[in-house]
Amino acid sequence: ILGEWCLATGGGTAPAVERTTMKAFFAFRRMSSLILFLCLATSKAIRNIDSESEVFARCTRKTHCEILSSKVDPDPNVANETEILVFFNSYQNISQHVNSIYQVVGDCENWWNVARENPAASRFPTDFLVLGVSSSDDLLPKLSEHPSIRSFSKQRQIDSRNLFSMEDETDQVDPELETDSPIEAGDDSESLKKFNIMGVDEDSAAEEEHLSHTRHILANSLTSITKFTGADVLWKKGHTGQGIKVAVFDTGMRKGHQSFRNVKERTDWTDENTLDDQIGHGTFVAGLIAGTHSQCSGFAPDAEVYAFRVFNRKQASFTSWFLDAFNYAMQIGIDVLNLSIGGPDFLDKPFVEKVWEMSANGIIVVSAIGNDGPRYGTLNNPADQLDVIGVGGITYEDTVASFSSRGMTTWELPSGYGRVKPDIVAFGKGIRGSTIGGGCRSLSGTSVASPVVAGMVTLLAEIADKRLLNPAMMKQVLAHSATPVANSHIFEQGMGKVDLLEAAKLVENYIPHASTIPESLDLTRCPYMWPYCTQPAYYSSMPVQVNLTVLNPLSVSGTIEDPKLVLHADGYAGEKPLIEAKFTYSENLWPWSGFLALSISVTKAGISMTGVVSGRVVFTVVSDRGEKSIVTVPLRINLIPPPPREKRLLWDQFHSLRYPSGYFPRDNLAIKNDILDWNGDHIHTNFKGVYDHLRARGYFVETIGTDWSCVDSMKYGALILVDPEEAYFDTEIDKIVNDVYVRGLSLLVIAEWQNVGTMKKLKFLDQNTQSWWLPQTGGSNLPQLNRVLEPFQMALSDRILDGTIRIKDQVINYESGTSVYKFPKGGRLYSILAKDAVSGSKRYFPVMGIHRTGTDVGNGRVAIYGDSNCLDGNHRRGPQCNVILDALLEFLCNNRTDETIFPPSLELKSSYLSDFGDLPVEMQGVHFSRYSNVVGDGKAPQCLNEVSDLPNATSLIPPVNNSDFLPHLPAPQGGFHPNSQQGLPYLALGFILTACGVGMYLRFCGAIALNKSISWDRIKLTSAESRTQLQEAQSKSQVGSPDANGTHKWSRHGKLHKRTNGQNIAHDNA
């Protein structure tokens, strides 16, 4: 009726009546539209609540990780169940996430939500689900297209993240201090024995015998570590950690423990229904931070302790346990968090990103660097992250403990150079701490050094101005007040031994400013700046790569601007600079930190320079609020003229692949407790001993992190390929052959084993994914190495040999090496008596050979050796085979044959072809292209014209992270029962009003058609205008404003730190 009346009115009434009528119509239309939308929204909400509750109930199972804990091999004929973690762009209740997946994937017959019965999942929103799946073939493609899902990954068992401590056998538990406790007498001793198994052995007996007199006095008098570090000085000033919330992620704590006065909360995140510490590790760690026992007191006795039990009695954990616990720590406002755990997998994306998120929200994370020393390249995650305070261990003699893991970081390999880690070192050997029963005992390890630093951080956090306190500020004061440990390298100790009292002075007078680790680059300072100080720079060498950690306490995000090298007067020859630098740096300094890598090259003006060049690196850090801090890093570097060609060696880093990018097995098969090759195979990590020896012999060793296709081979005496796993471009092989035959380059190949039968035996069942892991290669990628050797009529076999070599009164182990399968006439082959692990036979095998490719000056030489383990400092058993290395390099670089090793009688009168064994082949069923920089579509060699243009050192830039947490949102309560009929009237009203609205709209369109004076511009707000007005309204009140997807986000610290399209956005809340 109204429509007909409007039509009649619009067709023939006067303008005044028209205006009145149209106004009335617009008012009615707006009111009816509002009612319509409210009813539709209400009915939709009712239906959503019903379906959400129903879906959540139907698609949730109270099972967690039983399928992962099973030791039974999966039946290949049955669909295997596993768990995956699904990560969302926003924090919501679990039921909302489950319903979101249900709407896209459909019925949960082949998937289900795994119930998580812990404080975080029951009280707060979350950004992830744990899904059990019986078949992921159809599920994962659908999830990848879900607009609300950020990523997904497999659930992982974290038994590789060791609890880094060992029982100190030199200090027994004092029976007078130990209290009677059924827990102490029961499980504790057996559990601590497990820690000895999980960790590494104590320091060598020699180090144990040379403990200082101070150390013995300290142990005998049962003095607390806190008094030895000056904590009592701060206590007298009233600083005891009061008001600081400290989280200990470990094995839990017993209720009412007498050594703690302020335990605020104990939470369990495991699959066991207990809060108690049944192992002892968590109690010990917490005691070092906040214990009150007079003989083993902690640093901050009045701190608020939150004990997170994230490891069960089997010392196992899962990624989801940690993620829930991390989310909870952010929700309750933890200030300091200690992680005396770690593992080699820095590519465990969910774990790494959640640690970044905690740092971004102001939590100071302190973590143990690992107990894999004295080997280099053995840093553990998360201590190796930029934002985390990574702690190594020292003894009471102020020497770096042999168990403490060494740097550099290996994230950046092969193209870049690692960062300095650990950040600092602290006492970690023979330290006394709390036991489960209330007494004291001594433990050693970096998991002991870590809570020592965490306790100090707690005291410093109380002293600090809370407006200035953040992770970068705390790392800054600890690092820049530390004292370098004498006779130790920077990759052993970082900035040095932590100094609590000096750090307290910096905190009391702190002014926010950006800085770097290390603070200065005196590359002439030995031994601290090893390896830089051991090899001068020279014209035409590969760039000297240095990777600085940039600390930005000004804001959680920021940028680097205008980095440059400013030289002093000694850096010029006339007006020409002697050195130049190119920079690579973090696009965003987030969270609180980033990297700045510089590649230093000597210019042609410095070709004859001998001496030290000095200058400074200068750049500006800009905070997200526009504040600027200029950073100056002093630089000193030693220059010499280029060495002769025969003294220059080029180490190939590009062709080294390692865990955690894929399953690359250990080189020495006799080492059973470390199945992965994860130390980088760099001349400054596990081949450090080789570097030191070559420098002592007068060689200059450079590394190349790109392919060989464009290197000027005329500069080098030899190219060294050691234990390569990567494939080779055809252009690389062609160039190597040409360089050896025509340009006088020599080639040294030091290989390892590859045998498909053995590789299949090394497969293992990943309990996390219920799938088999297969090695991508053997110890080396022998099929690819044979492609390089084939033009020289050489090849290596698929044999795996164990034996010994006796040369010049030295006995050198030959372990898991290969044999020579083919060698050209005129070469010399060296054979040993060895046992073949493949066939079990024992016979003589050729394992080493040398060959001249011609008699002309331009002809190079080739040498091969079948075992790199005698050079690998991390798996070598026995002496380093320097005598063999020296003989091979003397032949290659100087054309001189050591007749004591290669007498003329070894020269081949005809080509050699083995009658035992076969050529190695590639493993079928693996996905090598996933990890290779060579194999796969779109991968091509880099041909760069100048050495100085080679890629600079790089570091891993944190990925886009828009998962900032939400406020405390309650779980849905009440609502309509799924079978309720209460929503039907609303639905009926909605349909009626919809029909009315459509009818009125059609009539109104008729009125418009009859009356041309009504303009769309007068009655319609365009969608573009709507968006503009909405944005203007939101800019006035940014708290809880929606993102592009309509999802609201908040931040506990009053700032929204959301990364969008690679950019950091920080809003000050109204």
- Residues labelled catalytic: 250, 281, 447
Contact 1013, 1020 (CB under 8 A): no
Report residue 751: phi and psi, to 5°.
-110, -170
**Whole-angstrom Cα distance, residue 184 to residue 822?**
63
Assess contact for 722 and 837: CB atoms under 8 A.
no
Sequence-separated (6 or more) residues with CB below 8 Å from residue 957: 586, 587, 588, 594
User: Cα–Cα distance between 946 and 540 in angstroms, integer?
Assistant: 9
Q: Strand 82-92 to strand 126-133: parallel, antiparallel, or no bridges (unpaired)?
A: antiparallel
In 851-962, which residue ranges form alpha helices assigned H by DSSP?
Answer: 882-894
Q: Strand (E) positions, 14-80?
A: 60-61
Look at the alpha carbons of 32, 38, 43, 48 in this order and tell me if their dihedral is positive or negative: positive
Q: Are strands 628-639 and 611-623 parallel, antiparallel or unpaired?
A: antiparallel
User: CA-to-CA distance for 970 and 131, rounded, in angstroms?
Assistant: 23
Q: Tell me the residue length of the chain.
A: 1070
Query: Can you spell out the DSSP letters for 718-778?
Result: EEEEES--S---HHHHHHHHHHHHTS--EEEEE-----HHHHHHT-EEETTTTEEE--SSS
User: Closest Cα to residue 567, out of 577, 559, 557?
Assistant: 577
The residue to which tokens 């079990």 are assigned: 840
Q: What are phi and psi of 69, to 5 degrees?
A: -85, -10
Nearest-angstrom CA–CA distance, 629 and 558: 11
Q: Could you tell me which of 178, 153, 191, 165 has the C-alpha nearest to residue 313?
A: 191
Q: Bridge-partner residues for 772, per DSSP?
A: 765
Per-residue HEC secondary structure of 322-378 comes to: HHHHHHHHHHCCCCEEEECEEECCCCCHHHHHHHHHHHHCCCEEEEECCCCCCCCCC
Four-point Cα dihedral 281, 284, 290, 295, nearest 10? 180
Q: Which one, of 1012, 1008, 1013, lies nearest residue 6 by Cα?
A: 1008
| Structure-token pair, residue 314 | 């089997």
Q: Say whether 647 sits in a helix, a strand or coil.
A: helix
Non-local (6+) Cβ contacts of 913 within 8 A are: 821, 822
CA distance 572 to 143: 59
Give the tokens for residue 433.
């701490």
Cα–Cα nearest to 1001, from 25, 39, 37:
25
DSSP 8-state code for residue 434? E
Other CB atoms within 10 Å distance of the CB of residue 31: 10
